[in-house]
Amino acid sequence: MMSSRRVLSRADARAVYDRVGAWQDPQAFYEAPALDALAEQGAFEAAGTVIEIGCGTARFARRLLRTRCPPPTQYEGIDLSGTMVRLAKARLASFGPRATVRQTDGGLTFDRPDGAVDRVVATYVLDLLSRGDARTLIGEAHRLLAADGRLCLAGLTWGEGLLARAVSWGWDRLHAFRPEWVGGCRPLRMRPFLEGACWQVRHHRVVTGWGVPSEVLVAVPE
């Protein structure tokens, strides 16, 4: 099931996340199993340059820089919410020049040369974008990634067991009614965005945290 209904505009997404601020962290209790899998499967130990789109409060970035990335790794977080950027900068301050965070207007193409990045990360971001913006993000990741680079994605998806299916359905209905109540996120299948588009999928699975299903996807450009 694919939702092609109204998604938050960039202005609305900025307003929602400026309001959510630090509450993003406790609200994201269901993300843990997906972020664990992504941290394991993303081969961050071999990454010289990491870009994260929609970095939020930089919780995942701090974990990667502390426990996975070697000291020379350069990290750049990008977000359209000024509040998130402020929180992310504070959280990553101790990493000094290794970590930078930048506010954007929500555009999903970036001023970096082709093949200049080792990891492009986006967690719980594709599921709030329009399908067109999601395709732009994936196309831009393909351009940015080095030959052995990896696209590392996690996001809400449709569950398979009875409980997970019921949770996905309820979440989807809530999104249809008031997308801002669920931070603009709705269940989405990300893998079809990569099909026929020069990607080799290295890892793909659905995990469930607190009954909420998430898709984890790691792919290399071909």
Ligand X SMILES: C[S@@+](CC[C@H](N)C(=O)[O-])C[C@H]1O[C@@H](n2cnc3c(N)ncnc32)[C@H](O)[C@@H]1O
For ligand X, the closer of residues 161 and 210 by Cβ is 210
Question: Which is it for the CA torsion 151, 154, 159, 160, positive or negative?
Answer: positive
144 touches ligand X (CB under 6 A): no
3-state secondary structure (DSSP) of residue 174: helix
Contact with ligand X (CB under 6 A) among 37, 38, 50, 80: 80
168 touches ligand X (CB under 6 A): no
Contact with ligand X (CB under 6 A) among 50, 125, 164, 194: 125
Chain residues 187-216 in contact with ligand X, contact rule CB under 6 A: none
Joined together, the tokens standing for residue 14 give: 């900025």
The minimum distance between CB 216 and ligand X, in angstroms, equals: 12
The minimum distance between CB 2 and ligand X, in angstroms, equals: 19
3-state secondary structure (DSSP) of residue 82: helix
Contact with ligand X (CB under 6 A) among 7, 37, 120, 123: 123
**Which region among 47-55, 66-74, 192-200, 203-211 touches ligand X (by CB under 6 A)?**
47-55
Beta-bridge mates of residue 185 = none
13 touches ligand X (CB under 6 A): yes
Neighbours of 135 (CB within 10 A): 15
Q: Which residues contact 55 (CB under 8 A, 6 or more apart)?
A: 61, 77, 78, 79, 84, 88, 101
Residues near ligand X (CB under 6 A), total:
26
Residue 76 sits at φ, ψ, to 5 deg, of -125, 125
3-42: buried (b, 16+ CB within 10 Å) or exposed (e) per residue?
A: eeeebbebeebbebbeebeeebeeebebbebbbebbbebb
CA-closest candidate to residue 207, choices 18, 95, 26, 41: 41
Q: Between 170 and 189, how does the x/- string for binding to ligand X read (CB under 6 A)? A: -------------x-x----
Q: Between 82 and 111, how does the x/- string for binding to ligand X read (CB under 6 A)? A: --x-------------------x-x-x---
The minimum distance between CB 53 and ligand X, in angstroms, equals: 6
State the residues that interact with ligand X by CB under 6 A. Answer: 10, 13, 17, 24, 28, 31, 53-56, 59-60, 78-81, 84, 104, 106, 108, 123-125, 128, 183, 185
